[in-house]
Amino acid sequence: MAFPRLIAVLSFLSFAFLSAAAPSSRSRSLNARADDTVHFEVTLTWEDYSPIGGTPKKMVLTNGTFPGPALKMKVGQSVEFLVHNELPDPTTVHFHGIVQQGTPWSDGVPGLSQRAIAPGSSYLYKWTADATGVYFYHSHSRSQMMDGLYGAIIISPASEDDKPFSLINNDPAFIKLMSAADDELQPVFISDYNRYTSQELHAQEANANIDFACSDAIIINGMGSQYCLSRDELTAYTNPKVTALLASVSPSQITDKGCLPPNLPATQGNFTFNIDTLPSDAYFTCNPSTGPMASFDVDPAKSFAALTFINPGGYELLKFTIDGHKMWVYGVDGGYITPKLVDQVIVNNGDRYSVLIELNQPPAQYSIRVANNGLNQVLSGFAVLNYKGSVGPASEDPNALAAMNFAGVNLTTLVTFNDNLAAPYPPSAPAPTADVTYQMNIKKLGQPAGAYQWTLSGVNAFAPELEDQTPLLFEDPANVQASDLILKTNSGQWVDLIIKTQGPLAQPHPLHKHSNKAYVLGKGIGNWTWNTVAEAAAALPAGTFNFANPPLRDGYTTTPNEVNSTWMALRYQVTNPGAFLFHCHVQTHVAGGMAIAMLDGVDDWPKVPTEYAEGNGIIYSKLKKKGKLHAKSA
């Protein structure tokens, strides 16, 4: 019985020690020498932790910290990421935005690219840092990311010439300062926080039959506080659109936590709710608590500072402003863009925005304000931009410089970054036409399904249990039945994905595509009634689609609408064969089934190394016990 496992051990070992020199399919990485490998190693533990003070809950700590340590590397380097799972549950790690060119088995999706890493086991991910920018790693097992497993990935460019800063100011001295700020960029994780674990939250959803959308706090780099407002403040902050919806419930008001009540047919649909099963603090009772506040030190002698905002949150779509400062948005989802000067940026789940701030204000502490961008809850979180030599808060009245209030309503006229204008730098354009078009239909499945169950295809939910199946990557795609949940493409094809949402009350969904990025060709309000983008472009006003320099991203948020349905058209080329997930990054939605598996390049299907196909992560736990694991340091 031990025989097959022994073979697996041996082959995995040789793989682990030899493969640093393994060639990758990308020419850039062919230059990577054996010693041009960075090795990271982390241990995941399940511990009592409280980011917002008050009562701790169980959270995933990565090497004892939350968020996990940042991984820094140079473009072109080979990366090894060894993870030890000391959690009570299975896990996987996804490297969000990393293409995984030629390494689809390191994409971290259970049931697609690997088997989940069992408790007590370890797993070695290996990939190439193909492109510069800010990415992040996070759990992709069920909704475990909400329990705290995430950290930043920062890939620095080969040359300063690749950066877009001359478009801000052509003076070489300024370019040098801006580039230096980018070299020292600080990641800023902005996220909702819930006092319940992801498993408890899903149990609450199922029992109450609701799509869960109420938080305790917004935390910034794992720090924050739960603020409880007075009833007068809550009333003052209630959006008139929300007031109209509240007429159907009693009392007709938002909850003490600032949330829309969970039993609103207008937002949930026509379902039978059992909200008595919810713990009162899930939606109603607000328990104030105070935790630490994140502070970002900046040095005005350097003239500029760079921050990259990342939303790894469960379900709140967020936005931020910085008191007294405009910002140049110069990077989106890792890629540089033609910079835009703005006051506010919306950061939806999974997305990253890099901003450059000119440090031209008196040396003081300025508030970084993060507010919920949805109408589901009145909620904000705060951090500090701390100038070196600061004499204290920038003004006596803490809100004197605020561009938006606690409910996220603007207090001044402000410019919000327009996602549609995120032109890639250097310029880049898709093929003018697609080879194949797939249409999807986001909606709740409807009774008798639960109010928390969703479909992306428009037909079936991608059930969480599919994470437990044999990974699709390990199958011969000829034997895998294509369906509304499993799409097949051929290598080199240009693929259009048309995503339709159903109004009225089409809420925004921040979708995420694994592997290579896709162009956002256009978005619209109303019914999509065409077979292809070409047909739609002929029928709709000029300018509806951008074929010249459309945003090139791994995150794409559907357009919300209170009245009509909406649509969004994405285009990408199949350049990296493998099994990749396309899904909503709202954790409650993906857990509810809003996902589709793309079998990209079925005509050029990769051969999975034996070590991954058979290894299943068991090996390292054995080595560890025998003390035979020698970690190389980064």
Nearer residue to ligand NAG within complex by CB, 143 or 501? 501
**Concatenated DSSP letters for 322-373?**
ETTB-EEEEEETTEEEEEEEESEEEE-TT-EEEEEEE--S-SSEEEEEEEE-
- Residue 344's alpha-carbon distances to 96, 169, 239, 253, 515, in angstroms, are 24, 21, 20, 29, 29
Nearer residue to ligand NAG within complex by CB, 360 or 447? 447
Q: What is the CA radius of gyration of the chain?
A: 24
Residue 246 phi, psi (nearest 5): -75, -10
Q: Which of Cu ion, ligand NAG, none does residue 563 bind to, with CB < 5 to 8 Å depending on kind?
A: ligand NAG
The C-alpha atoms of residue 502 and residue 507 are separated, in whole angstroms, by: 9
Q: Which of ligand NAG, Cu ion, none does residue 470 bind to, with CB < 5 to 8 Å depending on kind?
A: none
Does the footprint of ligand NAG cover residue 73 (CB under 6 A)? Answer: no
Within 10 Å of residue 404's Cβ, how many Cβ atoms?
Answer: 20
Nearer residue to ligand NAG within complex by CB, 391 or 539? 539
Does the footprint of ligand NAG cover residue 244 (CB under 6 A)? Answer: no
The C-alpha atoms of residue 447 and residue 132 are separated, in whole angstroms, by: 46
CB of 501 to ligand NAG, least distance (A): 12
Q: What is the footprint of ligand NAG within residues 510-539 (CB under 6 A)? A: 525-527
Does the footprint of ligand NAG cover residue 42 (CB under 6 A)? Answer: yes
Does the footprint of ligand NAG cover residue 414 (CB under 6 A)? Answer: yes
The SS3 of residue 245 is: helix
Q: Considering only residues 166, 544, 564, 575, which one is a binding residue for ligand NAG as defined by CB under 6 A? A: 564
Q: Considering only residues 563, 603, 628, 632, which one is a binding residue for ligand NAG as defined by CB under 6 A? A: 563
The C-alpha atoms of residue 501 and residue 508 are separated, in whole angstroms, by: 9
Nearer residue to Cu ion within complex by CB, 215 or 321? 215
Burial class of residue 452 (count of CB atoms within 10 Å of its CB; 0-12, 13-18, 19+): buried
Say how far residue 97 (Cα) sits from the centre of its chain. 9
Q: What is the DSSP letter of 276?
A: G
Does the footprint of ligand NAG cover residue 198 (CB under 6 A)? Answer: no
Does the footprint of Cu ion cover residue 445 (CB under 5 A)? Answer: no
Pairing of strands 595-600, 486-488: parallel
CB of 503 to Cu ion, least distance (A): 15
Q: What is the footprint of Cu ion within residues 545-604 (CB under 5 A)? A: 584, 586, 589
Q: Which of Cu ion, ligand NAG, none does residue 509 bind to, with CB < 5 to 8 Å depending on kind?
A: Cu ion
Nearer residue to ligand NAG within complex by CB, 413 or 479? 413
Residue type, 68: G
Does the footprint of ligand NAG cover residue 413 (CB under 6 A)? Answer: yes
Q: Which of ligand NAG, Cu ion, none does residue 586 bind to, with CB < 5 to 8 Å depending on kind?
A: Cu ion
Q: Which of Cu ion, ligand NAG, none does residue 616 bind to, with CB < 5 to 8 Å depending on kind?
A: none
Give the tokens for residue 474.
Answer: 């390990």
Q: What is the footprint of Cu ion within residues 486-525 (CB under 5 A)? A: 509
The C-alpha atoms of residue 547 and residue 563 are separated, in whole angstroms, by: 28
CB of 494 to ligand NAG, least distance (A): 28
Q: Considering only residues 489, 561, 576, 616, which one is a binding residue for ligand NAG as defined by CB under 6 A? A: 561
CB of 584 to Cu ion, least distance (A): 3
Q: What is the DSSP letter of 91?
A: B
Per-residue x/- mask for ligand NAG, residues 427 to 466, rule CB under 6 A? --------------------x-------------------
CB of 414 to ligand NAG, least distance (A): 5
> Rounded to the nearest 10 degrees, how much is the dihedral formed by the CA atoms of 138, 140, 146, 149?
-40
Q: Which of Cu ion, ligand NAG, none does residue 584 bind to, with CB < 5 to 8 Å depending on kind?
A: Cu ion
Closest alpha carbon to 131 in 476, 524, 552 = 552
**Concatenated DSSP letters for 188-215?**
EEEEEE-SS-HHHHHHHHHHHT------
CB of 285 to ligand NAG, least distance (A): 30
Residues that bind ligand NAG (CB under 6 A): 40-42, 63, 69, 270, 410, 413-414, 447, 525-527, 561, 563-565, 631
Residues that bind Cu ion (CB under 5 A): 509, 584, 586, 589
